[in-house]
Amino acid sequence: MDLALLFPAVTLAAVQAKFAGFAALGGVFVDAWQAGDPGEQLYQAVTQTIEAYTGNNAQAIRAQYLDTAVDPGDYDPFDPLNETLTPEPGGLSALGLSMFFTERPGETYATTTITFTNASGFPAGPIAPGGYTVAKIGKPAVTYRNAPMPSVYVEAGGTYTVPAGATVTLDFIAESPGSASNVDANQLEAVSQYTGLNIVSSGAGIGSDRMSAPNYRALCRTQASTTSPNGARDAYLRWSRLNRDGSPLLRPDGAAVGITKVQVTGSSATGTVQVYYADDDGAANSTDVTTANTNIVNNVVGVGDCITFYGAAAIEVPITITWAVEYQATYLGQSISGTTINAAIIAALTARFTLYPIGGFKQTAGAGTISLEEIRGTVKGAHPAISDAVLSSPVAATALAIGHVAKRGTSTGTETPV
């Protein structure tokens, strides 16, 4: 029997159909009973009991294989209802922890950077880590606070004062985990008030609700790196996210490290290993970088006298995207607005940029590109009503050097109904 035939979940309708088929072989036709007859009631009781005790068998079988195991809330091609369940540990988490010693990372906090300009003639501050609050425009419940930056907050009491006329960029972290705290560029405004201190939040902040099942499966497979069959490269990737026992790596403030992308470059001639980190919205937060570096130095076998290790945030390469699209004003009987198309394009670009690896695609010695067609195709496929898409920016492929990561820059365009 094909193993895949054991994967689909058993339903009550399927059990009843099978029961009726076997009953018919013996000359008993269950559809001839009247509702409420003892025979019909027995038929209902038996089939429902069978379904109750066998309904989880298919999921239990899938849970034995990393590629088919799922947790509640994950997409499951064999059980569409699984995606509607409340996310919680299930078969995939149990398999990952018991067989690969890897706990599934949960929610992460969105991080971003904000540029401060002191337009007054007086110093603004002192500002302590966590002492400056910003909120999402139109959604005051979504707030961020300035994150620790040991190299910046060096004044009395671990504070920082913005000098008159000076400009500084500070790290910020969401106060609540998950995608509910996500913001796009220029969506944050000051809650804390300092006279003459202006802010610009030119970058997005993206947090994840739970590591996706495909990424978790990939992380589980890096467990082999602890005994080196996949080489040291996987070891650096693993220890940038996990503790030695497989639990998620935590920052000093207790939040999970939000690193989602890692690029490892090495030279056997010089003994140098350079590791670059990024998250879904660009370069990794400085606290995440420090935490990952400390964990790697303490855990990776081979970082010794003969190896020089450097770990740093990836360098962001903003890509400005300007489009002109034509779309069907009426699609499948529904009226489509330009606002809907614009929102779909922004959402598609945001989701796609989270998947761009450090160094881009088609890499040679760690350097690659993000092709023009890759971005145009994302815009074109953002909504099925879009019939044509032309980009005026970018105009060619975007080159990414080693350690550079693509970041979605200003994204605007025109949407024309046809």
pLDDT, tens digit, for every residue of 295-324? 988 876 555 556 788 899 999 999 999 999
Residue of higher predicted confidence among 56 and 406: 406
Is residue 158 within 8 Å of residue 212, measured between CB atoms?
Answer: no
Residue 174 and residue 146 share a domain: yes
Can you give the pLDDT at residue 1?
47
Residue 156 and residue 92 share a domain: no
Q: Please give the average per-residue pLDDT across 247-276, as a whole number.
A: 85
- In whole angstroms, give the CA distance from residue 49 to residue 46: 5
Residue 383 and residue 399 share a domain: yes
Residue 304 and residue 243 share a domain: yes
Note whether residue 206 is domain-resident.
Answer: no
Residue at which a domain ends, from 298, 314, 330:
314
Note whether residue 55 is domain-resident.
Answer: yes
Q: Kindly report the length of the chain.
A: 418
Q: Please give the average per-residue pLDDT across 407-414, as a whole number.
A: 93
Residue at which a domain ends, from 254, 287, 314:
314
Note whether residue 105 is domain-resident.
Answer: no
Residue 403 and residue 331 share a domain: yes
Residue of higher predicted confidence among 93 and 43: 93
231 pLDDT band, cuts 50/70/90, is low
DSSP codes of every residue in 247-298: PBPB-TTSPBP---EEEEEEETTTTEEEEEEEETTEEPPHHHHHHHHHHHHH
Note whether residue 106 is domain-resident.
Answer: no
Residue 326 and residue 373 share a domain: yes
pLDDT in tens, 23-65: 878 777 777 777 777 777 888 888 888 887 777 778 788 888 8
Can you give the pLDDT at residue 215?
84
Residue 95 and residue 54 share a domain: yes
Q: What is the domain range of residue 83? A: 3-100
Residue 10 and residue 72 share a domain: yes
Residue 57 and residue 33 share a domain: yes
Residue 153 pLDDT exceeds 90:
yes
User: How many structural domains comprise the chain?
Assistant: 4
Residue 379 pLDDT exceeds 80:
yes
pLDDT in tens, 328-347: 999 999 999 999 999 999 99
Can you give the pLDDT at residue 105?
87
Q: Name the β-bridge partners of 134.
A: 144, 190
392 pLDDT band, cuts 50/70/90, is very high
Sequence-ordered alpha helix ranges (H) in 107-254: 213-221, 232-239
Residue 126 and residue 96 share a domain: no
Note whether residue 329 is domain-resident.
Answer: yes
Residue 230 pLDDT exceeds 60:
no
Note whether residue 207 is domain-resident.
Answer: no
Residue at which a domain ends, from 60, 79, 100:
100
Q: Is 341 left (phi over 0), alpha (psi -120 to 50) or beta?
A: alpha
Residue 252 and residue 322 share a domain: no
pLDDT in tens, 200-214: 998 888 888 888 898
228 pLDDT band, cuts 50/70/90, is low
Note whether residue 205 is domain-resident.
Answer: no
DSSP codes of every residue in 334-361: EE--HHHHHHHHHHHHHHHHTTPPTT-E
Scanning the structure block, which residue is given the tokens 């996500």?
182
Chain mean pLDDT for the chain: 88
Residue 328 and residue 398 share a domain: yes
- In whole angstroms, give the CA distance from residue 376 to residue 397: 11
Residue 6 pLDDT exceeds 70:
no
Q: Which residues contact 181 (CB under 8 A, 6 or more apart)?
A: 109, 110, 136, 142, 144, 174, 175, 205, 207
**pTM for the full model?**
0.67
